[in-house]
Amino acid sequence: MTSLAGRILRPSRPDHPSVVTDPRERRGIIVELAIVAVLTFGFSAISAALALLEAQLGAGIASQTVALNPSRSDLGAIDFVRQLMSGVRLLAIAALGIYLLWRSGIGLSRVGLGRWTPRDVPVGLGLAALIGLPGLALVAAARAVGVNAHLVPSEVDGIWWRWPVLILIAIGNAAAEEVIVVAYFITRLRQLGASENGSLLASAVLRGGYHLYQGVGGGVGNLAMGLVFGRFFQVTNRVWPLVIAHAVIDIVAFVGYALIGDHLSWLR
């Protein structure tokens, strides 16, 4: 096994943050994790699993149409404000994860949340291609065999503000998921003494779980994405390339569908 393969398969645990041994502090971390999970992606995973179960007990997930960014009002101005609020809320979720880590005395640069650098951009674009292209193929295959819903990434209505708001939501999605599910979640599990592989698997399962509302394909695809992104974080200690990659994937999906959705009947 080469040293590179060894780093990828069995990355060493960083010295900081150290494992918390004080019982009171450990309870505090567990309580904090539970609260963050309820407010963010933990309950979302349970809800998504229930949605998949409900669909399968009915006509099947293949008969479902899932709108990822549906209109939130028949009135354009109210729809705009609600969509804007959705994007801001996602950014606030990311900020919450960063704040909780910082507030507990963890140096943000030590957990991949220091200042971004221009080098993060090409790495992020490479990760986007690595995940995005196979992911699209997986969605199409899952749809073809009837284990995925028909996904509608965005409204195709030509409203002038739709694209910038979709970009904001894509960036918000990326920041919230990569900060909470990767940086925050893995860091807290490390503090509780979890192994690198154990924390990676937990993070990936969580990511796959809250995408189950899309179907089996969505769940499996995001589980794989979680394994790749989580391991990248563990090996490089960088989060911003993941945020860039995720944002690019979502922007292409959301804005691309808004532009050419009428020509993507093969995904339906």
Above 60 in pLDDT, residue 262? no
Which candidate, 66, 93, 96, 90, places its Cα nearest to that of 165?
90
Q: Which of 263, 258, 1 is nearest to 153 (CA)?
A: 258
Assess contact for 90 and 68: CB atoms under 8 A.
no
Question: pLDDT at position 226, please?
Answer: 98
Distance CA 133, CA 130 (A): 6
pTM of the model: 0.93
> Beta strands of the chain (E only): which ranges?
65-67, 150-152
- Token pair of 257 as six digits: 């569908």
Instruction: Say if residue 126's pLDDT is above 90.
Output: yes
What angle separates helix 240-260 from helix 120-144, to the nearest 10 degrees?
Answer: 50
Where residue 231 falls among pLDDT bands split at 50, 70, 90? very high
Check whether 221 has a pLDDT greater than 70.
yes
* Backbone phi and psi for residue 67, each to the nearest 5 degrees, phi listed first: -90, 120
Segment 117-120 long-range contacts (CB within 8 Å, at least 24 positions apart): 117/240, 120/238, 120/240, 120/241, 120/244
**Residue 201: pLDDT band by 50, 70, 90 thresholds?**
very high
Contact 137, 266 (CB under 8 A): no
Report pLDDT digits (tens) over 20-59: 999 999 999 999 999 999 999 999 999 999 999 999 999 9
Neighbours of 36 (CB within 10 A): 19
**Inter-residue contact 120 to 232 (CB < 8 Å):** no
Q: What is the pLDDT of residues 76-120, one digit of tens each?
A: 999 999 999 999 999 999 999 999 999 999 999 999 999 999 999
Helix, strand, coil shares, percent, the chain, to 5: 75, 5, 25
Residue with tokens 């674009």: 125
Contact by Cβ (8 Å): 227, 107: no
State the sign of the Cα–Cα–Cα–Cα dihedral 164, 66, 224, 179: positive
Alpha carbon dihedral 226, 105, 237, 8, in 10-degree steps, equals: -70
Structure confidence at residue 19 as a pLDDT band (50, 70, 90): very high
Q: Over 60: is that where the pLDDT of 268 sits?
A: no
